[in-house]
């Protein structure tokens, strides 16, 4: 059974470079046999949060929200690809995830951060660790951090230069960590229903 993994990405910039990291992860996880889908906040285009998915009466949520809720429920694991804006998370990614809560429970999540500069988005990644834990996910300890992304991945999401080589070296451990927790969560849920 292939792991069903959703890769969330949240930049709304017209010249966004972080999509390269999201595409790299989708390709890398798929090459390992996972069933992977990119969830692009800009493409989905949810409005600023007014009501969470669970606050709509059954069958009355907007179609995009309903579709995404079903995808989240059906996933085995999640990867959050985050840029760093003023030391914090991207608003587009945060808004997308804030529409949901229980749909994410009892599954693992991994964080990959990036920035145009040398800090590689790690401050945003650190913030996401707490956010995802609060949202009922187990956040794996392995992370990816890519600085100066345009010098690490080309326009086709292929690794280039020293940054790309470092990403290629770090990716297997990141993917192994996520796969281990994905299997553990799936097997535990098969043995015993979550307590809530």
Q: How does pLDDT run along the chain (196 residues), one tens digit per residue?
A: 899 999 999 999 998 999 999 999 999 999 999 999 999 999 999 999 999 999 999 999 999 999 999 999 999 999 999 998 888 889 999 999 999 999 999 999 999 999 887 788 899 999 999 999 999 999 999 999 998 899 999 999 999 999 999 999 999 999 999 999 999 999 999 999 999 8
The pTM is what?
Answer: 0.96
Domains and CATH numbers, the chain: 4-191 (3.40.50.360)
Decide the pairing of beta strands 84-85 and 35-40: unpaired
β-pair type (88-89, 108-114) = unpaired
């Amino acid at each position: 059974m292939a792991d069903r993994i959703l890769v969330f990405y949240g930049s709304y910039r017209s010249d966004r470079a972080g999509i390269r990291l999201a595409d790299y992860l989708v390709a890398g996880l798929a090459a390992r046999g996972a069933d992977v889908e990119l969830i692009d906040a800009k493409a989905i285009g949810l409005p600023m949060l007014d009501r969470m998915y669970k606050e709509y009466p059954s069958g009355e949520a907007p179609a995009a929200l309903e579709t995404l809720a079903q995808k989240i429920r059906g996933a085995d694991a999640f990867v959050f690809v985050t840029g760093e804006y003023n030391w914090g998370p991207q608003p587009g990614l945060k808004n997308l995830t804030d529409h949901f809560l229980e749909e994410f429970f009892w599954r693992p999540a991994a964080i990959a951060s990036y920035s145009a500069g040398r800090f590689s988005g790690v401050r945003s990644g650190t913030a996401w660790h707490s956010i995802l834990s609060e949202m009922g996910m187990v956040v794996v300890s392995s992370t990816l951090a890519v600085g100066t992304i345009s010098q690490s991945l080309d326009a086709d999401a292929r690794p280039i230069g020293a940054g790309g080589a470092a990403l290629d070296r770090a990716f297997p451990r990141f993917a192994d960590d996520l796969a281990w927790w994905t299997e553990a969560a799936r097997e535990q849920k098969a043995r015993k229903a979550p307590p809530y």
